[in-house]
Amino acid sequence: MAIKILQLKAHKRIVLKAIRKYGTGPEHNYQHYLYMGEKGCRPVFVHFGKHMGVLALRGRKGTWHTFDEVIAPAKIRQKIFIDFVNFAIGHDKAKKVVVETRENLRKSVMKKAKNEFHFPRINYSLHWPLFKIKGFDENIPGKNWKKIRNLRNRLYRFHKVRIVSSRSLKKSQLKELVKRWVRKRALRDRAEIGKYIKLIDNNFKGCDYARSILVDGKPATISAGWRIPNSKKAYSAIGILDYSADGLGETAYIDELSYLKKMKFHEVNLGGSDAPMLFFKKKFRPHKTYKTVVYSIMPPKKKKTAKK
């Protein structure tokens, strides 16, 4: 099986065809990977032929990154994943491959390839809440929703609130919103500001929806996402707010879930979350949560030779 590194921009048709055929992950999105590319880190598709491969970022300093499942039939994903790491480390001489997978895949790969690679400790883990949309009522009636309902009502009571398509707003206003948000976020979000600016510059290309709340005439949120390939599920990929008023996050989620219900989605993936963000998302009573781990895979450690 000949393995090739394809630049995303130059081989758009091949990549899109692979995603349409075997894509299953929330981050299996062509534009999403383009936005993550930056100086010294190119978005690529490691092509295994027959519409199979891995979406990745190839760094010039010997570091590769990939964030979602292999694009291939389920029964051979693990094999292709190991072949991909072998290719990056063996052929491309990568110093490390930073990946995000389910924990069971990491354990399985460690068992199968313990002599081929070195596995440092897990960097961090993320929790992904899944929300069934069918029974969602945008009026959020009942005692279980009372706190969220009160926050939304208070926002509307003390401010002039309007919800519009983010695409209808000035790009300069949206960029200022991103900058306000990033200043109050963790270092990981600050490092990724470039992809959000690219998303705005490209008028949310790659997203199936993008919505913003205007508070007193000023953009205060961006909620955007897309359909997960080969499913009736949506991925809530972008959630940005400037924290200028209480209840903004709750109101943005109510609107997003209502909109996705109208779009006939069955389920929404609320995105990878650290502990504080998971606590917030659990307010919306997801029916299920799964966990991913972010870790590195490196060339095997050289054995120390015994001194004579």
The domain limits of the chain are: 4-125+293-297, 134-265
CA dihedral 118, 119, 120, 121 (to 10 degrees): -160
pLDDT interval class at 213 (50, 70, 90): very high
What is the arithmetic mean of pLDDT over 122-143?
A: 95
pLDDT at site 2: 86
Tokens of 177: 């919103």
pLDDT at site 42: 94
Mean pLDDT of the residues in the chain: 94
List b or e across 65-81, with b for residues whose CB sees 16 or more CB atoms inside 10 angstroms: bbbbbbbbeeeebbebb
pLDDT digits (tens, 9 = 90+) for 153-196: 999 999 999 999 999 999 999 999 999 999 887 656 656 789 99
pLDDT at site 192: 78
Q: Could you tell me which residue, 308 or 92, shows the higher pLDDT?
A: 92
What is the arithmetic mean of pLDDT over 292-303?
A: 90
Do 4-125+293-297 and 134-265 agree at the fold level?
yes
- Of 48, 44, 3, whose CA–CA distance to 21 is shortest? 48
- Of 233, 297, 239, whose CA–CA distance to 62 is shortest? 297
pLDDT interval class at 39 (50, 70, 90): confident
Residues recorded for the chain: 308
> Contact 248/220 with Cβ under 8 angstroms?
yes
Helix 248-262 vs helix 146-158: crossing angle, to nearest 10: 110
What is the arithmetic mean of pLDDT over 82-104?
A: 95
Contacts by 54-59, CB closer than 8 A, 24 or more apart: 54/80, 54/81, 54/84, 55/15, 55/27, 55/28, 56/84, 56/88, 57/33, 58/5, 58/92
pLDDT at site 38: 84
Architecture (CATH level 2) of domain 134-265: 3-Layer(aba) Sandwich (3.40)
- Residue 59 pLDDT > 60, yes or no? yes
Q: Could you tell me which residue, 297 or 183, shows the higher pLDDT?
A: 297
- Of 32, 5, 4, whose CA–CA distance to 16 is shortest? 32
Q: Of all helices (H) and strands (E), which one includes residue 131?
A: strand 124-132
To the question of domain 4-125+293-297 being in CATH 3.40.50, the answer is: no
pLDDT at site 208: 98
What is the DSSP-derived secondary structure letter of residue 91?
A: I
- Residue 305 pLDDT > 80, yes or no? no
Q: Could you tell me which residue, 40 or 302, shows the higher pLDDT?
A: 40
What is the arithmetic mean of pLDDT over 200-206?
A: 98
Q: Of all helices (H) and strands (E), which one includes residue 201?
A: helix 193-201
